[in-house]
Each structure stands twice: as C-alpha cells, then as structure tokens.
Amino acid sequence: MADFQEKIAKLFPDAQIGSEEVPVISIPDNQWHDLAIALRDDEDCKMDYLVTVVGMDWTDSLGAIYYLMSSKYNTMCGVKVTTSDRERPMLHSAADVWKVACLYEREVYDFFGIIFIGNPDMRRLFLSIDWKGYPLRKDYAEVNEVSVENERQSDTTDTYIELPDGKVEKKEVAVFEPGEFVVNIGPQHPATHGVLRFRTAVDGEEIKKIDVYMGYIHRGIEKLCEDLTYPQTLPFMDRMDYFSAHNYHHGLCLAIEKAAGIQISRRAEVIRVMMDELSRIASHCLFIGTYCMDLGATTMLFYTLRVREQILDIMEKTCGARMTFNYDCIGGVMQDIAPDFQKDVKALLEVLPKNIKEYNKIFTGNVIAKNRMEGVGYLSREDAISYAVTGPSGRASGWACDMRKLHPYSIYSELDFEEITATEGDSMARFKVRMREMEESAKILAQLVDNIPEGEYCVKVPKVLKLPVGRWFTVVEGCRGAFGIYIESDGSTKPYRLKLAPPCLPLAGVVDHITRGSKIADLITIGGSLDYIVPDMDR
Amino acid sequence: MQDFSTITDAIHSFLLSFMPGWLTTTVECVLIGVGLLLVYSLLALFYIYYERKVCAAFQCRIGPNRVGPWGLLQSFADMFKILIKELIHLDHIDKFLFALAPYLVIIASMLAFAVLPWGNGLQVIDFNIGIFFLVAVSSIGVLGILLAGWSSNNKFTLIGALRSGAQMVSYELSIGLSVLTMVCLAGTMSVGGIVDEQADLWFIFKGHVPALIAFVIYMIAGTAETNRGPFDLPEAESELTAGYHTEYSGIHFGFFYLAEYLNLFIVAGVASLLFFGGWMPLHIPGWDAFNHIMDYIPSVVWFIGKAIVLSFVIIWFKWTFPRLRIDQLLSLEWKYLLPINLFNLALMVCIIIFGWHF
C-alpha cells in the first residue's frame, strides 16, 4: 500500500495523503482528472474499481470523495476533490475513467448540485426534474410540495464541456434519436422487480438504447440519518435491500463499532455471520424463483419459496420478524438465538442439497432455459469492474470481488469456503454462480452451527454513543454485491454524513450497456439475472 | 354402440310433423346454437377449474377450495365477477375494432365447435372438408388478436399482437402439415370419415412412426397456436404485462380468456380426432370381447375424456417450461418443425403406397 502512496506523492506533489485507515488523497480539481487516469492505469496503483462517490457538504466547501479499490492489489483509497463555489459548483468528471462514475456523479449532482464537467448526462438521478434545491446540502431549506401533476420527463440531457480556453459550456443532448420507437417498461411492470423504469428504444424486438429512471422509492435515507443518533440509523438497513437486511445491518454495525472502538463478543460474531449466510441462501432462493418466473417457468418459484420459508421461520423464531429484522445492533445482536435455532439450521442444511439438485433438474438443464440464458447479456471482466458490477453478477464475469475474501471482516477469515467465480459472463453464469453460492453458504453454516460459543450476545455500549471526529469507510458483502458505508463524524451523537453505497445502483446502471442489440425478452433475462433490488438503489 | 343420430333424427321428424321445413331448420339451428353456447361456457368453466387444480398440484398447493365442495363453484364465482365488471372506456383507440376483436376471437373458436366429433352421430355438421374447415376457421382468431393489439393504441399490445401474428401464422403451417399427414392416412377430409377409418385401430397405432412424429409436432404447434406456455410470448406476462389484451377489461377480457381455454380444448379435441379416434372407443383387431366392452362406454365420454387427457399434457407443458424467445420460437418452426413435417408427410405417403401401416 505504501508503494502507491509514494508514487502518487511523487507524481502529484500537490496531493495530500490522509492517515485514515482507508487513506484519502486530497487533490485540487484541475489535477483530478490526471490523477484519476494515473490511479487507474499506473502499474503500482491499478485502482480500476470505483466503489462509490460520496458527495459532501463541509459548509465552507462542497466536494466529492471517490472511493477506489484495486482489483489487482486489493488496496483501497479515497480521492477528495472540493470546490468552494456554492452558487455554481463545478468539478471535473471521472466518467471517462470509470464508467460507473457517470451514474454516481449524477447522484452527487442530484443531492449537492455539483456539476461534473465532462459527464455526458447531467440530469437528476433520483429526484423529479422539477425538484427545487439540493437536499443533502446543509443549508437546504426549500419546501417541495407534493406534485399533483403528471410526472414530467425530459427528452434531453445537459452536458458540460470545457473549452480549450478554460470556459465551460453547457450543451443539450437528446436522450433518444428522433424517430426512435420508445417503449416505456416500468415503473409498474412485473419484471422490473419494483418501481424501476426503463425507457427502451426498440427496433422491432431489438433494443437500441435504454434510459434508466430511478428514484420512485427514494426515501432520503442518507438525509434522514443525519438527524438521527447512530443506533437510530440501523433500522434503515432493513429497508434498503430487504433480502440482505442482516448483511447490511452487520455492515453498519461494523462501521460504527470500528469508529467507536467497540469489541464485540465471539458469540455475537458467530450469530451475525450465521444470519448473514442464512439471508444469502434465502435471497438466492428468491432470486432463482423470481428469475425462473421472469423466464416463464412459474412453478419454480414455489419450489424455491419452500426453502426460503424455512429460513424465514428460523429468523422469525430468533428475531421476531420475517422481514425487517432489525437484529444486529451496536455491540452485538438484539437478543439471543432461539432455543431450537441450531436444530432448525441443521434441518435446513439437510433439505437444501436435495432442493438444489431438484432446481437443477427442473430448470438448469432444460433446453429452453439454456437457450434463453446462455450467451445472453455477456459482460466482460473489464466492463464488470469499470461498471462496478459486484456480487454474484461480477463474479460470473470472472472478477473475484467477494468482500468476505478481499477484506475479510468479522470471522470470515477463519472460515473455510470457496469464492465462486465463472468466466462466461452471461446470464447462465450469473444464475449458476448464485446456485453454487448457496452451497458455499451452507458450508459456512455447517462449520458454525455446532460451534456457537457461550458468552454474552451483546456487549455493554455507552447509552449515548458519540464517534470521534473522522471518516471511516467500510465495505461488506451483501447478497447482491459490495455494500459500502461511509461515515463522517463531527464528534456528536449524530453522523455528519452517512453515505450508503448500495450494490444495486451499478447493477441497474449496467443494464443499458449489456442489453444493446438484444431482444426485448433478453432485457427481462438480463435484468433478472443481475437481480437488482429497487429500494436498495433508490435508498 | 349408442348412436345419437337416432335421437337427433327423432327430434327432426317430430319438429317436421307440425312445422314447415324452413321453420324446422331455423328452430334446429337455434337449438344447436343454444346447446353449443351452453357447452362452450360449461367447458370453459370446467377448464378454468381444471387448469387451476392441475397447476396447484404441480406447485405444491391445493388450488381453489373455498367456494363449493372442493372449490367446484370457484369458476362460476369468477365468471359472475367478470360479468359484472365495468368495461373501461378508453380514449384514443379505434373503438369499433377494439370492440370487434374479442368477438372475432371467440367466433373463431365457436365455429370450430361445429365440426368436432362429440359423439357417435353427435356432430353439428359433417361435410367432406370438415378438417379443412376447422383449420381455416381457427386462423380467424389471429385476426382478432392482431386487431386487439393494434386498436388498443398501446406499444405493449402492439408488440404482443405482432409477436402473436408471426407466431400463429408460422405454426399454422405445422398444424396444417401434420393434419395433412393424417388426412393422407385417412383418405378423407370429412371428420366423420376420419373417425370411421379408425374403427379398427386408432391412427396413432395404425400409422406408427409417421403418425407419432405428426402427433408430437401437432402437440407442439397446437400449444403454440393457443398462445400457451412455453409459447405464450404474445401475452408474456413478465415482458409485456398482458400482451395484446392489456387494455381490455370486464367481459371483453373474459372473452379472450374464454377463447384461450376453448382453443385449448379444440386443439386437444382435434388431436384426439386425428390420432386417437375422436369418439371411437379403443378397438384392437382380433380382441372382439375387449372391443365389445369398450363399446359400452358412451362415445361422448370417450371424446371428452381424450380431449381432457391431452389438454393435461398441454397444461403440463405450461407449468413446467420457461418461455421461448421470439427468434428461438420462429427458428424452431422454420428450421426444425417444418422440414421434419415435410419429410414426415413424404414418409407417410410412402408408407400408405406400400401398405406398411397396420
């Protein structure tokens, strides 16, 4: 890690490298684009994966922190770019360096009003186009009344170009070419898995371009969290990716515990990991069921729900809920496991292999299913990294991006499990990777079920929890990919900024790229195989 | 064997005894029409219940079980619900064609009922091109679907209708050719004639290999023709919401729904006519006692029983397989089924010429 820091210091003398756990490099805006290219291409850096872009308002300046990870060296760093102009803040875009940055920068523009020079698409991402003000700014006081008019949409987007003389010019670009046949898929559509909207330009059955509209269930979780104490922010984690609620809870608890220096008991660690893996199996079960249903094989849904129900029963006994568990808490878990937890998990481990075999028999080997999935929606490894497609979808493209292996947290480093990857990069690979991940999760559960140590399930935590001044960035593995959490604290009981980097946002962002030239039916196949959850991307 | 023509003849002469000829014909037409409508709606209700129960069994569920014993009255309840539903009036549509489309679809399936061999002597009309008539009228349905999709002024319905048009026109070839293969064996296009030809042995056994091939192709093409899974692209729920009938409501939607089930029955009925003897009981040459016992089962039971068993197979397809994509669907027809079918027809002709069938 030290290597690349030295190198950056040598190449960019103006850069200041912070001393956080994940070092944050501060760089003036005019050198940022060069630094971005250097970070991505330099042999010692190879920061080819942009985890997230955190928009920030430090009241005296606005800015963004780009969190990067190297798929080669597995190192992480942040780059902080700021501007003090609050009227028309502008930064240079990195959209040409990392493809996913286009989407992330739109989000920052939406919430902070920072214009990114060179980003091809400067529209709002989540909020409606007639929204007044930029809500995540600290001085935001606008009142936006609920609109009773039809939803407006613009057929053009703005892009800002820097002219050779340094002036910035605004240009209007049409989203679709004139005369294109645009079909509106969503927001109410059975296959978008929630309220997501694809404006799809088609030529017959062939897809020309997809314009993704998000934000139909944007609840402003990040903004809400700024007004809540740290323990109060936890329940929101259930309401993002509701299928990996445990994993997200685990992630936020880890981040807060790391910042506050709380050491939790081994028993709590084991319970947390077991809950994570149970949710992973349940989540993948539901994926298989709904995916098959998207492809027209309705019956599979019921076979996979059988297993999922069994897991939900286990969770209900321990957590008291079948969804929105709110189980992990700062210092451990909310309550001890139910008396027959171990018995139930063993029963599940017994039926799971049989069920997986049955799924393969009914669906995976079916010739129609093979034709529908094989070779459809190919995503290369380079594109997967550039578009930040993590989780099973990224691994299906051959990118080993499992945060449980790359940045082992909790007790994952002690566990024996394989990271499943495939090289095909098509929908079939994404499907199979998930199928095999269920087996690996079962392996982890089998290792832990008889080894839950005695001890307290929750350590004593101060009643009023204050984090020291600083910033922390943690990445954990949700069921659908890497979930990043950024906490910036000003020393009070509430987070100054809590940024949640969900895996599903880039998953939806990559849809346009991999569906071009495919059939309409393939959009459903591809969307289903990416398995995005809309509340997760909208937050 | 019970011959229903004695009953129909008796009614005919009874009516003729106090009515002029033209009035008799009119009264008989009305009676048959009412009878067919009754059969039509009862069959549809039965099929809705049947499919839901079969599907539930595949999906580890119980299915309808609340309304009436074993949920038997569920589909009646559903029918009354759909009858009292509001017909939502849409702007910006071609109102005449929009209203016409469901009737075209339902008329197509009703017309096909005219030539189905319901039982011994129980056939509305038996003329020398019966099976040809059936193939012809069943293609009217695609017109209704195209009109429904086009007149709704909705992009989803339009895509659904175009898919449907491409699909039904293509698969009609396969249906036609496999029907033709069997017509070769029968030597007649008259439905009654085809049934009579199978008095000693059903065609599926008589024609052995080519008949079997024709049967498999017929079942695949028939499933595609009825727009059912795995060929339910025109109304692919996860892609096009409800395809061509997205904009329909109330009884107009109900018509499409009914027609789908009735087409299922018609496809299964024609399969039983062409391959399993229509209403003809199972006869095996030489087993006279067995044949005699089989004759005791009424012919209506034979026909409807065969149709229900064959429709079970089609329902089974739907609840097991994923859906094909439009290009795969068309290449299946044009690259595989059509050449196999043509070859099969030639094979059948050779077998008939050389007398290699049973």
Cα–Cα separations (whole angstroms), residue B325 to A192, B167, B277, B337: 18, 11, 35, 16
Which of B235, B319, B323 to mutate to test binding with chain A, by most A CBs within 10 Å of its CB? B323
Q: Per-residue pLDDT for A1 more than 60?
A: no
Q: Per-residue pLDDT for A169 more than 70?
A: yes
Q: Per-residue pLDDT for B43 more than 80?
A: yes
Same domain (yes/no): A239, A351:
yes
* Residues of B in Cβ contact (< 8 Å) with A523: 239
In a domain, A135, yes or no: yes
Nearest by CB to B239, which of A184, A303, A524?
A: A524
Length of chain A: 539
B227 by DSSP, 3-state: which?
Answer: coil
Nearest by CB to A296, which of B156, B236, B326?
A: B236
In a domain, A393, yes or no: yes
Query: What confidence tier does A2 reach under pLDDT thresholds 50, 70, 90?
Result: low
8 Å CB contact between B64 and B52: yes
C-alpha span between B138 and B134 (Å, rounded): 6
Same domain (yes/no): A356, A255:
yes
In a domain, A116, yes or no: yes
* Residues of B in Cβ contact (< 8 Å) with A205: 159, 163, 326-327
In a domain, A212, yes or no: no
- Average pLDDT score, chain A: 85
How many domains, in total, are found in chain A?
A: 2
8 Å CB contact between A171 and A161: yes
Same domain (yes/no): A141, A244:
no
Which of A368, A372, A525 to mutate to test binding with chain B, by most B CBs within 10 Å of its CB? A368
Q: Which amino acid is at A129?
A: I
pLDDT for the residue numbered B239: 65
Per-residue pLDDT tens digits for A441-478: 998 988 888 888 888 888 888 888 888 888 888 888 88
Question: Where in the sequence is the domain holding A325, given as residue range(s)?
Answer: 221-535
Inter-chain contact A295–B322, Cβ cutoff 8 Å?
yes
Q: At what angle do helices B95-113 and B250-275 cross, to 10 degrees?
A: 30
User: At A113, which CATH number?
Assistant: 3.30.460.80
Distance of CA B141 to the CA centre of its chain: 12
Run of H or E including A81: strand A76-83
In a domain, A196, yes or no: no
Same domain (yes/no): A312, A444:
yes
Inter-chain contact B321–A371, Cβ cutoff 8 Å?
no
The DSSP secondary structure of A154-202, one letter per residue, reads -SEEEEEEE-TTS-EEEEEEESS-TT-EEEEE-SS-TTSSSS-EEEEEE
Q: B236 vs chain A: nearest CA distance in angstroms? A: 8
Inter-chain contact B238–A371, Cβ cutoff 8 Å?
no
C-alpha span between A354 and B50 (Å, rounded): 30
Question: With an 8 Å Cβ cutoff, is B321 touching chain A?
Answer: yes
Inter-chain contact A368–B229, Cβ cutoff 8 Å?
no
Nearest by CB to A366, which of B159, B322, B327?
A: B322
Same domain (yes/no): A384, A531:
yes
Question: With an 8 Å Cβ cutoff, is B323 touching chain A?
Answer: yes
pLDDT for the residue numbered A454: 85
Q: Per-residue pLDDT for A83 more than 60?
A: yes
- Cis check for the bond before B230: say yes or no (omega within 30 of 0): yes
Inter-chain contact B323–A363, Cβ cutoff 8 Å?
no
Per-residue pLDDT tens digits for B319-343: 888 888 888 888 888 899 899 999 9
User: At A237, which CATH number?
Assistant: 1.10.645.10
Q: A88 vs chain B: nearest CA distance in angstroms? A: 41
Nearest by CB to B239, which of A184, A363, A521?
A: A521
pLDDT for the residue numbered A391: 87
Nearest by CB to B327, which of A190, A202, A519?
A: A519
Q: B159 vs chain A: nearest CA distance in angstroms? A: 8
Same domain (yes/no): A325, A454:
yes
Distance of CA A282 to the CA centre of its chain: 18
A135 by DSSP, 3-state: which?
Answer: coil
Same domain (yes/no): A386, A514:
yes
Structure tokens at A497: 């900024």
8 Å CB contact between A22 and A8: no
Question: Which value does ipTM take for this structure?
Answer: 0.78
Same domain (yes/no): A392, A484:
yes
Same domain (yes/no): A225, A166:
no
Sign for the CA dihedral angle at B253, B258, B261, B265 comes to negative
pLDDT > 90 in chain A, percent: 1
Structure tokens at B358: 């049973």
Question: With an 8 Å Cβ cutoff, is B230 touching chain A?
Answer: yes
Nearest by CB to A292, which of B61, B159, B322?
A: B322
Q: A539 vs chain B: nearest CA distance in angstroms? A: 25
8 Å CB contact between B67 and B61: no
A247 by DSSP, 3-state: which?
Answer: helix
Q: List phi, psi (to 5°) of B306.
A: -60, -45
Name the one residue in this structure whose structure tokens are 């052995």: B208
Inter-chain contact B322–A190, Cβ cutoff 8 Å?
no
The DSSP secondary structure of B137-206, one letter per residue, reads HHTHHHHHHHHHHHHTT-HHHHHHHHHHHHHHHHHHHHHHHHHHHHHHHHT---HHHHHHHTSSS-HHHH
Per-residue pLDDT tens digits for A12-63: 777 777 777 788 888 888 888 888 888 888 777 788 888 889 988 888 888 8
Run of H or E including A62: strand A62-69
Last residue of a domain, one of A173, A208, A242: A173
Structure tokens at B131: 């099976």
Average confidence (pLDDT) over B194-216: 83
In a domain, A194, yes or no: no
In a domain, A443, yes or no: yes
Per-residue pLDDT tens digits for A500-529: 888 888 888 888 888 888 888 888 888 888
In a domain, A198, yes or no: no
* Nearest in space to A101 (alpha carbons), one of A74, A81, A131, A83: A81
Which pTM does this prediction carry?
Answer: 0.84
Query: How many Cβ atoms are within 10 Å of A23's Cβ, its own excluded?
Result: 18
Run of H or E including A209: strand A206-213
* Residues of B in Cβ contact (< 8 Å) with A520: 159, 239-240
Lowest-pLDDT choice from A88-102, A225-239, A336-350, B5-19:
B5-19
Same domain (yes/no): A133, A231:
no
Which of B228, B238, B324 to mutate to test binding with chain A, by most A CBs within 10 Å of its CB? B238
pLDDT for the residue numbered B142: 84
Q: B152 vs chain A: nearest CA distance in angstroms? A: 15
Q: Which segments of A54-140 does DSSP mark as H helices, in order?
A: 101-112
Inter-chain contact A521–B326, Cβ cutoff 8 Å?
yes
